[in-house]
Structure 1
Amino acid sequence: MPSDETYVSQILGVLSAEPERVVLSWRDRTLTAAELTALVRSAAQTLHRQVGGDGGDGAGAVVAVLTVTNTAPTLVLRYAANLVGATVVHLHTTNAVDPADPLAAGAKLKILRETGATHLAVDAENLATARELRERLGAPLVLVALGDLGPDVLDLTTGDPDALDPADIRIPPDRPAVVTYTSGTTGEPKGIAFDFRARNGFISAGLQMRWRSVYLAFLPLSHSSGATADDSLASGGSVVLLDGFDPGEALRAVARHRITRMLLSPPQLYLLMDHPELASTDLSSLQMVTYLGSPASPERLAEAVKVFGDVLLQVYATSEAGFVSMLSPAEHLDPRLRATVGRPMPDWVRIADPDDHRDLPPGETGEVCVRSPFTMSAYVAEPELTARTVRDGWVHTGDLGFVDGDGYLHLRGRIGEVVKTNGIKIHPVTVENALLAHPDVVQAAAFCVRDRDRIEYLHAAVVLREGGTAGPGELAEHVRAAVSPKHVPARISVRDALPLTGVGKPDKARLAAEADG
């Protein structure tokens, strides 16, 4: 494909081959390839009249999208805005796992101001909120929608889908295409901008696929699930949208729609494995079950291989670095490799000493640094933070890990999570994996708790399998035998569930606060 052709144009080119094929399903509604294309092109043409003019492009236009996340408008509005060179900002949620977790009004206002939004794209469910935001913003903001929502909202469906030729719009590859806000697990949510070069390059995988995926999307389209939807459409496949993750509903959707592809977090994978409907569900259509967001338990992955077969795909990615490494389905069959996050692409990863930033040899743990075509371009309105995070083209992830002699990457948690206790530095993931190796444990989190004298202690929280009887004493002895006496947490609590962050990881800050309280 021409290097100056956007990922949206490439998707629309694939859709044009079979216009009557159903490509998008949600809430008992469907769109064919022709209907999806017409919506995108009509909306793009209307936007272009607004922001581009004759022969221009969407330079300077920023379209904030405030829609029910896992519905067709979320995709259509992003495609339309990006097709004319405008930047898209997702405004509904910073949660990469739960699409039903909305941002507060104050956070929405901050994002609108910070990104310089010129347009606010809404649906009927969010219209009242959009009008309130426009009033409070104190700056010009054009409301737009896919339909007639009132005289103060521009109806994007009134455009002529045949009047716009995307080839006439020249979009610089370094222009921001999409801004996604992080969940703020390490501080206030931050906008992460990815340019058109990264977005256009990512779609190449879908264009080269030899199979048509039917993608079940229950993670929010505003985050990585949206890129997976793009990839699936580019493969000539289709997308089935659910409002959120419910293990029973997901299993039923797999059988009903003959799903071939899913994207989920490790805790969600465990919930599927433990669900009572699993044994009676036809999973034969599944060809790719991708999990990402947090390290997975090698022991639970061994169970997952037995349940799902040769279809598991682990992706290690971060909000800032994008895709980093992958563990293939075949590699999941090797017990040694299930403790890794796969092999990075050649020359994409270096392991640096967190203190002096020198490169570390294989086997030594340091900060994972990434340089690839898919890394972020900048934090929005945060030049100093951008400069600290991206140095000489390398994104410093804050993740700790090492590369072994065979080139596989092992993660050891976050730099700030290392606990200095019992005279040694303990990586929580080591203790978590030991706990997860106990037959009664299905989820585990190890974290640091500091007393009034700032002395650090390792604590852990676990969720037991149904019928599990292991108590703190038994689990402590298990860790002692599996790792060492010094790795035994000062306290182990058994909980009904672990609190999760917006990216599906155990919320260790909350666990530590509850333990401290």
Structure 2
Amino acid sequence: MPSNETYVSQILQVISAEPEKVVLSWRGRTLTAAELTTLVRSAARTLHQHAGGTDGGAVVAILTVTNTAPTLVLRYAANLAGATVVHLHTTNAVDPADHLAADARLKVLRETGATYLAVDAENLASARELRERLGTPLTLASLDDLGPDVLDLTAGDPDALDPDTVAIPPDRPAVVTYTSGTTGEPKGIAFDFRARNGFISAGLQMGWRSVYLACLPLSHSSGATADDSLASGGSVVLRDGFDPGDVLHRIERHGITRMLLSPPQLYLLMDHPEVDSTDLSSLTMVTYVGCPASPERLGEAVKVFGDVLIQVYATSEAGFVSMLSPAEHLDPRLRVTVGRPMPGWVRITDPEDHRDLSPGETGEVCVRSPFTMSAYVAEPELTARTVRDGWVHTGDLGFVDGDGYLHLRGRIGEVVKTNGIKIHPVTVENAFLAHPDVVQAAVFCVRDRDRVEHLHAAVVLREAAAATPDTLAEHIRVAISPKHVPARIHIRPALPLTGVGKPDKARLAAEASG
């Protein structure tokens, strides 16, 4: 796209072709393309004018109910005016109901130097409390008239701001998303306008017109998918969280063509008793992200949904890395991979001496692409350790096979040294998931008082399953080897999940240690 255009102006240009088309639906409300454009341009004008006309000097934190239209409108308006957006609602990429605590929100405001806090009515009281506690000037703003102490962003003239006159350096942060990662401590990950503008190009070049059902929080990857869907000339249906029964109803009711899910959510959807009686014929893209999926369960999913599955391997820091296409899901040999990265995007390096490894050798996955993060907020040392010579060191272990497909083997810190060998948990997890009674599995390390490492597993069984820890242990013994059998196998009704939708192995290990 031209250097003076942003992804927002491109979206608005695409949807202007059908001004009366409903492009956003949420909580029984709708916005047409014309209404969305007016809101975005009015808010951008007010924000730009209130900030003194400075090109992007503002930092706008957004505290709204995540999966509602204001979350998108406010981000679009701020970015159109050249401001940086900070999502303040949650660090959870899967559950929009998982809120950041007030102290964590205060920390984010201070770290990012936020000058505006954009809110909705449901979060106004929390926003006022944060403003009082912050100790530095903070302007509250909203898309509604919420009182004399809140700037009404809809008061601006939508035709008064010419986005082409707003100079936005491509390396300016466009969006800062906080993630809890594996440590639990929120980290701000900044993506610049160059990365955000580049991502939208895919939607501009594709011929689809998707109807996207957004269940995952718009503050994370689901927001980028919403952007891409609008840029395709499509529409977005917003839902506050994931419920498999309601999702199935919405697919049929709205003619949903596109979804973004975590693998555990995909399993819940395909195992729901109403899935066989639901018309799924509208679906063309069911994308799953967040953690590796079971090859066996993917085989079942292909039978349920058809050739519409797309696996995307991405990380919070590296962005999009690789993809396994619908056609590739039909080949059982490829379902054990996460697809092929773009040429030149991925290196596999030795975690200790950082030398490049040959195909088939397992090492750290390092990524350099147009979509990687620019920096961690207020963490220069962590940024320097993570991004080296333009390569993002993901902390994921994997290898590239002779055909160029990427295989993941878990995290560097998850490798368990037990029974005289190094065990990659994902290998044992996939073996568990090959058992007909197992629907979810997590394999993790538990250290005893002498710091000796032991392999443990937590599994969720199908309803009325007959498997026991002993029969599952025998299954692993035969499927892999006796040394891969966990010291303990815990059967649970459900697995706890992290903010990115992965099994919370730290919690599982803590519970097992107790």
- TM-score for both structures, normalised by structure 1: 0.99
- Whole-angstrom CA distance in 2 between matches of 1:236 and 1:480: 52
Match for residue 66 of structure 2 among 41, 65, 69: 69
Tell me the CA shift for residue 185 of structure 1: 2.2
Tell me the CA shift for residue 406 of structure 1: 0.3
Tell me the CA shift for residue 394 of structure 1: 0.2
5 Å matches for 1:281-300? 281-300=278-297
RMSD: 0.6
- Whole-angstrom CA distance in 1 between matches of 2:152 and 2:379: 34
- Give the counterpart letter for 2:8 in structure 1: V
2:55 aligned partner: 57
2:181–2:500 contact (8 Å) kept in structure 1: no
5 Å matches for 1:111-510? 111-510=108-507
2:3 aligned partner: 3
- Whole-angstrom CA distance in 2 between matches of 1:157 and 1:209: 33
2:397–2:409 contact (8 Å) kept in structure 1: yes
2:20 aligned partner: 20
- Whole-angstrom CA distance in 1 between matches of 2:281 and 2:497: 30
2:33 aligned partner: 33
- Whole-angstrom CA distance in 2 between matches of 1:183 and 1:228: 21
Deviation sequence 1:88-118 (CA, Å, 0-9, x none): 0000000000001100000000000000000
Deviation sequence 1:303-352 (CA, Å, 0-9, x none): 00000001000000000000000000000000000000000000000000
| CA separation of 1:34 and 1:329: change in aligned 2, threshold 3 A | same
Tell me the CA shift for residue 4 of structure 1: 2.7
Q: Secondary structure at the match of 1:282?
A: coil
2:425–2:443 contact (8 Å) kept in structure 1: yes
- Whole-angstrom CA distance in 1 between matches of 2:246 and 2:69: 19
Tell me the CA shift for residue 52 of structure 1: 4.4
Q: Secondary structure at the match of 1:94?
A: coil
- Whole-angstrom CA distance in 1 between matches of 2:309 and 2:181: 29
- Whole-angstrom CA distance in 1 between matches of 2:474 and 2:5: 59
1:464–1:494 contact (8 Å) kept in structure 2: yes
- Give the counterpart letter for 2:13 in structure 1: G
- Give the counterpart letter for 2:384 in structure 1: A
Q: Secondary structure at the match of 1:410?
A: strand
Q: Secondary structure at the match of 2:410?
A: strand
Tell me the CA shift for residue 186 of structure 1: 2.3
Tell me the CA shift for residue 279 of structure 1: 0.9
Deviation sequence 1:215-251 (CA, Å, 0-9, x none): 0000000000000000000000000000110000100
Where in structure 2 are there 5+ consecutive unaligned residues?
A: none
The runs of at least 4 aligned residues of structure 1 exceeding 3 Å deviation read none
1:4–1:173 contact (8 Å) kept in structure 2: no
Deviation sequence 1:53-98 (CA, Å, 0-9, x none): 2xx4122x10000000000000000000000110000000000000
- Whole-angstrom CA distance in 2 between matches of 1:302 and 1:184: 29
- Give the counterpart letter for 1:113 in structure 2: R
Deviation sequence 1:10-59 (CA, Å, 0-9, x none): 00000111100000000010000000000000000000101242xx4122
- Give the counterpart letter for 1:336 in structure 2: R
- Give the counterpart letter for 2:107 in structure 1: K
- Whole-angstrom CA distance in 2 between matches of 1:80 and 1:375: 23
- Give the counterpart letter for 2:391 in structure 1: W
- TM-score for both structures, normalised by structure 2: 1.00
- Whole-angstrom CA distance in 2 between matches of 1:5 and 1:331: 35
- Whole-angstrom CA distance in 2 between matches of 1:182 and 1:359: 29
